[in-house]
Each structure stands twice: as C-alpha cells, then as structure tokens.
Amino acid sequence: MKLDPAVIELLSLDPEQTTVSSAGGGGCSSASTAKITAKLPDGTEKQFFMKTSSGGDAEVMFRGEHASLRAIHDAVPSLCPQSFGYGPFASDPNTFFLVTDFLNLGNRRSANLSQTTPSLAAKLAKLHTTPAPIPEGFNRPVFGFPVSTCCGDTPQENGFHDSWAQFYADNRLRFILRRAESANGKDLEVHDLVETMASQVAPRLLGDGHLNNGRGITPVVVHGDIWSGNAGRGSIGQGPVQDVVYDPSACYAHSEYELGIMKMFGGFGGSFLTEYHKLCPKTEPVDEYDDRVALYELYHHLNHYALFGSGYRSGAVSIMKKLIRKYASDKD
C-alpha cells in the first residue's frame, strides 16, 4: 500500500523509506485505519496512526478530532496522542485522512505502570483544573469549541456561549432532540421532557449564579466521550506505558460534564473517582453533584437514542422524569 502524497508532504517523509499496514480501531462507523512506519533521516524509526474516510462527514469528523487532540495534548501532553494534521488525499480529494502518534495499546488494567507515572485519574484531574484557552475574538474563556466535534457519528454544535447552562440547554439538549426527531420521528413525551429539562432543570442546576456559591465555573477542556473503549493503557510511540485516552469529542465545558458518559457505561469505579476528586473537587453545591452528573449522562442517552433508536429511550426518559420531579418549577 502506497502512502498518498498529501500525507508524505504533511509528515515530511521519504516514500522510499515508508511502509503502510492495516491497523485496528477507527473511532467511528466508517473510518479505515493504518499504521505508517517510516525511517527518519537520522536513522531512527517512527510510527504514525492514520484514519481515512470519504465525504464531507469525514472532513468534519477529522477536523474535530484533530482540534480535540491538540487541545487535550496542549494541556496534558501525556494524556493522548499528538495529532499532526488532517486533510484530503492528493490522489482523491473526496477521501480525508487524520494522522496522529501511534498508540501501542494493551489492556488498561493488566499492564503495570511505573510508580512515577501519573494515573488516568490524575491526568484527567489536571486537564479539568487547567482553564480552557481564550478563543480568538474573545477576551476571556467561554463555553463551546472552535470547530464542530463528533460524539460517535454525531457532529455537535459547539458555538460559543458565556453561560454554561445556556450552552448545555441549547447546544446539547435541544440540539440532540432535533437529531433524535430527525432520525426517529417526533415523540411528544420525549420532546416535552427535553424542553422542560432545557428551560427549567438545566438553569436550576447549572446556573452561574448557583454553582460555586455564585462564582460560577471556569471552562476547561473535556474529552467529551470517555468510556472504556476510548481509554487504554499503552505507550505513545516509543514512550513508557501509561494511561491514555483517544477518539475525543472535545469542548470547553464544566469539568463534571466528562463524568456523564463515564457513569453511563461504567468502568471507572469508586477508587478512580476518589483519586480524581481529591485533585479536582466536586463543584458546589456538592449535594447536587449526583444530579448534575445524571443531567450530563442524559445527553449521551439522547445521543444514543438519536443514533441507534428506541432502545435508549427509556434510560433518557427515566433520568428526565426523576430530575423534573426534583427541580422543575412546573412539575405537571
């Protein structure tokens, strides 16, 4: 298999000293993957990971993943592979690629870490206590992201907001409701429940005047789609074995937003959260922490409902009815 000239140019490789082989894991339903092995001018060998897919959706997905990896890597370099770039093939402008460091992955629980290597909980806590960068055109951190990012196959709306409650209501809950209705048809009960969550529960639980005793929250970079399939233990290139994440769907968000998908699929137990929260404390009011995480978990139930259909409806409805009973001003 020959490497496309656009990738050769991006990585400044010698095509005569480069080989390409298949690799596992694509992070979405349509991407193909490959391992690039190149001999560099100094005689050393370097491996890269490449995803390829076709069409405009692939361009959006790879642009978002590239920006996500860059944002995470800038804050905590050892947490994820570095992304070197994305773009169309020179030989086929309808085929797009993304190139990153190669991850040599093992089982997340079986490979031993050095005592000096930070755990996933420690790295994630560092990510979540590092203020997000200030976007171009703004004079302070805001919620959102410079580009669309894909959670699974869903391209998300990441337009910037000053208010986290407004971002979550509009860019996550109402947005994913439109996606679900487009895919499955309008379900009046789900529609009304989501609208109540967006108009009443989200402002009540997430309002800037409410969180942290009225001080609000600082946007941080979140991975956005951490579940056991997007976290592993292995080495980035020739580096040491360590905990890493990949296939991100980043945005500038409330740190606890990360925990919604982690709770939905499990795999991150009590010891993980104990270590994490020692370094990244729960937001005040702490007694509403579980309900905030459930509110964030809701988005992922609705996203799976949009992507995969009615099997995820009941989980979403259950969360919404519980939170509406507790927090909506009009509970009827």
Identify whether the C-beta of residue 68 lies closer than 8 Å to the C-beta of residue 248.
yes
pLDDT category at 25 given cuts 50, 70, 90 is: low
**Chain segment 89-100, per-residue pLDDT in tens:** 999 999 999 999
- Report CA torsion sign: 44, 49, 54, 58: negative
Q: DSSP letter at 197? A: I
Determine the 3-state secondary structure of 16 from DSSP. helix
CB within 8 Å of 7: residues ≥ 6 apart = 13, 36, 50, 89, 97, 99
**Chain segment 256-309, per-residue pLDDT in tens:** 999 999 999 888 888 999 999 999 999 999 999 999 999 999 999 999 999 999
pLDDT category at 331 given cuts 50, 70, 90 is: low
**Chain segment 169-224, per-residue pLDDT in tens:** 999 999 999 999 999 999 999 999 999 999 999 999 999 999 999 999 999 999 99
pLDDT category at 31 given cuts 50, 70, 90 is: confident
Question: Is the pLDDT confidence value at 109 over 80?
Answer: no
The predicted structure's pLDDT at residue 226: 95
Q: Which of 152, 280, 274, 265 is nearest to 220 (CA)?
A: 280
Question: Is the pLDDT confidence value at 56 over 60?
Answer: yes
- Residues in a beta bridge with 251: 222
Q: Which of 264, 171, 283, 278 is nearest to 225 (CA)?
A: 264
Distances (CA, A) of 132 to 68, 78, 188: 12, 17, 37
Cα 234 to Cα 240: distance, rounded to the nearest angstrom: 8
This prediction has a pTM of 0.94
Residue entry with tokens 């990738």: 7
Cα 59 to Cα 321: distance, rounded to the nearest angstrom: 38
**Percent of the residues in the chain that have a pLDDT greater than 90, as a whole number:** 86
Identify whether the C-beta of residue 235 lies closer than 8 Å to the C-beta of residue 241.
yes
Burial label for 29, CB within 10 Å (0-12, 13-18, 19+), is exposed
H-run or E-run covering 32: strand 32-39
- How many C-beta neighbours within 10 Å does residue 104 have? 14
Please give the domain boundaries of the chain with CATH numbers for all domains. 5-101 (3.30.200.20), 120-327 (3.90.1200.10)
Would you list the DSSP string of 109-162?
TTSPPPTTSPPHHHHHHHHHTSBPPPPTT-SS--BB-SS--EETTEEPP---BS
